[in-house]
């Protein structure tokens, strides 16, 4: 791999990211292999070392904009999301090169994160930001992917899974709400009740104030509509889960006390 500050570019990993789209990317094992092949092919024709580089100030707007682009795109390239913890600490050096197919900005950047595998607070990486002469599309290459702590990767993976679960549950809940509202309106139409809107929240509140015994009886009543039966079932399930949770909590406490004897 290319060491920090090296002039060679043959080991850079290349990512082509349309600036107008800016879609998040996920680096799976398959995409890693794909991009390794791309880099190998790219290094044959890009001619990074063939043209003379021109140093530019690290505070130059081109340096800052290129560094910001590269870091923001790199932050998207982890399955777990742990790269979101990366931030740009400083631009160590910057130079430009007008290549055959791209205008290239070479950067050495110092990135910060609390989760580097080395336990350092910051590490340096070499980047190239490429702008296509043909269509102006921005790409970037990095010499090495930041290595992160396994515990952090696991933590962010769990958080990502939980977030996906919450979004999925929210979507299902919204679909369920629409179905219940439709069923409730049909039931009211059958009873010829004039109402513009059925309040499911009011129904939930009503059943939440009833005793468990009353809900169990009501759930089986023939006069209850299906949407009401569903709401009652959800309320009963919630109560049973809490009941068993409290039982488990008490069991664990008794087990702890007995072990201390």
Structure confidence at residue 223 (pLDDT) = 82
The C-alpha R_g of the chain, in whole angstroms, comes to 29
139/9 Cα distance (integer angstroms): 15
CATH of range 13-148; options 3.30.450.20, 3.30.70.360, 3.30.1490.20, 3.10.450.10? 3.10.450.10
Q: Which two tokens stand for residue 161?
A: 């899974």
Q: Which phi and psi (to 5°) does residue 162 adopt?
A: -65, -40
CA dihedral 63, 68, 73, 75 (to 10 degrees): 130
Domain segments of the chain: what residues? 13-148, 154-260
Structure confidence at residue 255 (pLDDT) = 84
Structure confidence at residue 162 (pLDDT) = 83
pLDDT digits (tens, 9 = 90+) for 186-243: 766 666 654 556 678 888 888 889 998 888 888 888 888 888 888 888 888 888 888 8
Sheet containing 87-98, strands listed edge to edge, beginning at the edge strand earlier in sequence: 13-16, 138-142, 122-132, 102-112, 87-98, 54-55
Structure confidence at residue 136 (pLDDT) = 92
Q: If residue 5 lies in a helix (H) or strand (E), which one and from where to where? A: none
pLDDT, mean over the chain: 79
Structure confidence at residue 133 (pLDDT) = 92
Decide: 59 and 92 in contact? Cβ < 8 Å: no
Structure confidence at residue 183 (pLDDT) = 74
- Tokens 């709401």 belong to 231
Taking the chain (261 residues) in runs of 10, the rounded mean pLDDT of each run is 36 47 45 50 44 90 96 91 94 94 95 95 95 92 93 89 80 72 70 62 87 88 84 87 86 83 72
161/148 Cα distance (integer angstroms): 19
């Amino acid at each position: 791999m290319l060491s920090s500050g090296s002039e060679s570019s043959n080991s850079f990993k290349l990512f082509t990211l349309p600036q107008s789209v800016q879609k998040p990317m996920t680096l799976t094992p398959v995409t890693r292999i794909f991009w390794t092949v791309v880099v190998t092919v790219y290094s044959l024709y890009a001619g990074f070392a063939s043209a003379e580089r021109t140093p530019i100030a690290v505070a130059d707007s081109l340096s800052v904009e290129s560094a910001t682009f590269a870091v923001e795109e790199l932050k998207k390239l982890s399955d777990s999301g742990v790269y979101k913890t990366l931030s740009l600490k400083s631009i160590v050096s910057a130079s430009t090169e007008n290549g055959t197919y791209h205008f290239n900005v070479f950067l050495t950047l110092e990135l910060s994160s609390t989760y580097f595998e080395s336990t350092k607070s910051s590490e340096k990486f070499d980047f190239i930001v490429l702008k296509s002469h043909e269509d102006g599309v921005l790409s970037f290459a990095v010499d090495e992917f930041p290595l992160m702590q396994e515990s952090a990767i696991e933590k962010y993976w769990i958080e990502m899974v939980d977030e996906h679960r919450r979004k999925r549950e929210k979507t299902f809940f919204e679909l369920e709400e629409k179905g219940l509202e439709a069923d409730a309106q049909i039931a009211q139409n059958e009873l010829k009740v004039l109402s513009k809107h059925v309040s499911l929240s009011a129904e939930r509140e009503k059943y939440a104030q009833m005793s468990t015994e009353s809900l169990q009886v009501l759930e089986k009543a023939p006069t209850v509509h299906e949407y009401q039966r569903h709401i009652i079932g959800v309320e009963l399930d919630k109560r049973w889960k809490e009941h068993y949770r409290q039982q488990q909590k008490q069991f664990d406490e008794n087990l702890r006390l007995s072990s201390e004897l």
